[in-house]
Amino acid sequence: MADGPSLPGVDDEHSDEERIVLHVDADCFYAACERLREPELEGEPVVVGMGYEPGDTVGAVATASYEAREFGVESAQGIESALERLPRRAEVDDDPELSRKETGYYRPVDMEYYQSVAEDVRAILHDCADVVREVSIDEAYLDVTDRTAWSVADGFARHVKDRIRREVGITVSIGVAPSMSAAKIASDFDKPDGLTVVEPGTVGAFLAPLEVDLLHGVGPVTARELRSMGLETASDVAEADPNVLVDRFGERGRDLYEQARGEDDRQVEPKGLPKSFSRESAFDGAVEEPEPKLEVVDRLADAVAARAQREGAMYRTVGVKAVTPPFEISTRERSLPGPVDDPDLVADIARDLFAEFETEPVRKLGVKVANLEFSEVDQASLDGWEGVGGGADVRNTDGLREESADAATVSDGNSSEVNAGAEHSRKLHEYSSDSRERNDSSASGGADSTSGGADSDTNNAHESDPQESEPPITPEETDDGQLSLGAFANRKTAGDK
C-alpha cells in the first residue's frame, strides 16, 4: 500500500465493526454532586435550581433526582411549579398537613463545585482510554479499542463504573457499542447506574424495536412529527424513504435515517475544530455505469462544500474515496495553492479525481475537503486573485461569494481583479499542485454497508458542536433530564419574546 494522505477511516487499523466505543453519562449529575457534600440527601428527593436562591420561588429546575421525578418535578420546570408538586422539607414544621415523605430538598446551582467533581471523573476517563471526547460536564465518549476486546468489553466498562463510584462517589451509566450513536442510545437504555453492551452485528436488532423518542436528539416535537408520518419505531425510520425525511426535517432527517439504521462511522476524537468534512454514500450493489456514480460524486461534493460554508471554513485539499469489490479502498487527493471556498471547484476536482473509477464497479463513494482554515485569511481564487480595497470584511454567508483583501491585488485602496480566464481543466492542473496520493488497501473483516445510497457525514477531527456530527440534542434539556446553563439562558430569552 502506498503512503500518502487518505480520507477519514482509511488508515484506521480497526474496522468500524471492531471499534469499541463507550458513552459515559453521569446520573443526575448536579443532584449527585449535592449528595456528595451532603450525604444525608442520599435517597431523598433533590432539586437543583438555576436562578434559584434558598427560600425563593423563582428560577427553573436544572435537574431533579429520580426520587423528585416521582412527584412530577421535571427539568426546565419553573421552581414555583416544582414546589406545588414537591414542597420544601423545611416547610414541614410550618405546615401540619405536610409529611416528610411528601417533601424534598432544593439547592441552587453551584457550577464551580460541579466542575471540580467533573474533573475527578475526567481524570479517570482519560486514564482508562487513549481517546476521550468530552461532550459536556457530565458525559463523554471513549474509544477503548486498543485497551480491551469485545469478549471482555462488559468487564472493562464495569471497571470504569466501579472506579468512578469508588474514587469519586457518583454513579454513571455506560453504553458500549461499535459506534458513537449506538453507544449513546445504549447508555440511556438502563438508567440509572446502568450498563448496556451492543456487540458488533447486533446494532440494527438493538435499535429496531425502540420507540422514536429514544433516538438521540428526538424530542417531543420531532417524535410527534415522526408519528404523524406513521413512524413509531427506529425500524420504521430505517425503512422510510430518506428523501421524505430530508424534505420534512432538512439534513437532520438524513441524520435520523442513518442513526436508525445504525450507520455511523464517526471517530471518537477530542473536541475542537474539525480537520476535514466528508460525506460518503453506499450503493445497494457494485455499480459500473459512470452516470449514477458521477451523480453521487456531484451530490457529495455539494454537500461537503455546503457544510464547509455553514461552518465558516475554507479548505486547501479536496479528496475522493472509492470502495470496489470485495472491499478495496482507494483514495485520491489534490492540494490547492491556498485556502478556498468554491463549491464548483470542489465538484470539478472530485469528478477529475474520480475519473479513473468511472468504469470500475464501485460499492461506495466519498468526497472530502480537508486542511481546513477557520480564521479570516485571504482566499485564493482559482480564477485569479480577488481583492477588495480597504481590507473588506471576510463574509461567509450562504448565497454570497466570499471576498477578502489581498495586498497583491490592491493598489491605492482600489480593488482590482486578475482573471486568468482558465478553463476547468486548467484550474485543476495549472493552479493546483496535483498530488494524487494513492492509498490502495484491502480491508478484511468489515462488511461494507448496503444502504441504498444513504450518506454519512463525517468530521475527521472533531466538530465545533456534538450532534453536529452527532445527532442534535434538544436545546433545553440533556438526555438525563438535566438543564444546561446555556439552555436556561436561551429559554429565558425566548420567554421574554
**Domain membership flag for residue 271:** no
> How many CB atoms are closer than 10 A to CB 456?
23
426 and 323 assigned to the same domain: yes
311 and 454 assigned to the same domain: yes
- Cβ distance 355 to 286 under 8 Å? no
- Rounded CA separation 455/419 (Å): 36
* H helix runs in 311-342, sequence order: none
Q: Which residue has the cell 445504525?
A: 262
Cell of 367: 468526497
The string of DSSP codes covering 363-401 is EEEEEEEES-B-S-PPPPBTTEEE--TTTPPP---TTS-
171 and 254 assigned to the same domain: yes
249 and 126 assigned to the same domain: yes
205 closest CA partner among 244, 238, 171:
238
pLDDT at position 91: 80
146 and 231 assigned to the same domain: yes
- Paired strand residues for 362: 287
Consecutive 10-residue runs of the chain (497 residues): their mean pLDDT? Answer: 36 60 97 95 96 90 96 94 94 79 95 90 91 93 95 97 94 96 93 96 94 87 94 95 90 88 87 78 86 94 90 92 81 93 95 94 91 62 33 28 25 30 39 40 34 43 33 36 42 30
294 and 392 assigned to the same domain: yes
- Cβ distance 103 to 88 under 8 Å? yes
Cell of 241: 424513504
- Show which of 232, 260, 288 is a domain's final residue: 260
pLDDT at position 60: 93
- Rounded CA separation 489/497 (Å): 13
**Domain membership flag for residue 404:** yes
Consult the annotation and say whether 138 binds a ligand.
yes
Q: Are strands 131-136 and 276-287 parallel, antiparallel or unpaired?
A: unpaired
pLDDT at position 482: 52
The CB-side HSE value for 27 (13 A sphere, CA atoms) comes to 24
342 and 376 assigned to the same domain: yes
29 closest CA partner among 182, 192, 158, 176:
192
**Domain membership flag for residue 179:** yes
CA 218 centroid distance within chain? 14
Consult the annotation and say whether 434 binds a ligand.
no
Cell of 151: 469478549
- Strands (DSSP E) along 211-271, which ranges? none
**Domain membership flag for residue 12:** no
**Domain membership flag for residue 471:** no
- Show which of 95, 110, 125 is a domain's final residue: 110
253 and 130 assigned to the same domain: yes
- Cβ distance 75 to 136 under 8 Å? no
Q: Residue 176: enclosing H or E segment and its boundaries?
A: strand 172-177
CATH number at residue 84: 3.40.1170.60
**Domain membership flag for residue 432:** yes
181 and 83 assigned to the same domain: no
Distances (CA, A) of 271 to 131, 161, 170: 11, 23, 24
90 and 179 assigned to the same domain: no
| Candidate list 67, 134, 139, 468, residue with the active-site label | 139
Q: Which domain holds residue 215?
A: 21-25+113-260
112 in catalytic set:
no
292 and 256 assigned to the same domain: no
Domain count, the chain: 3
168 and 231 assigned to the same domain: yes
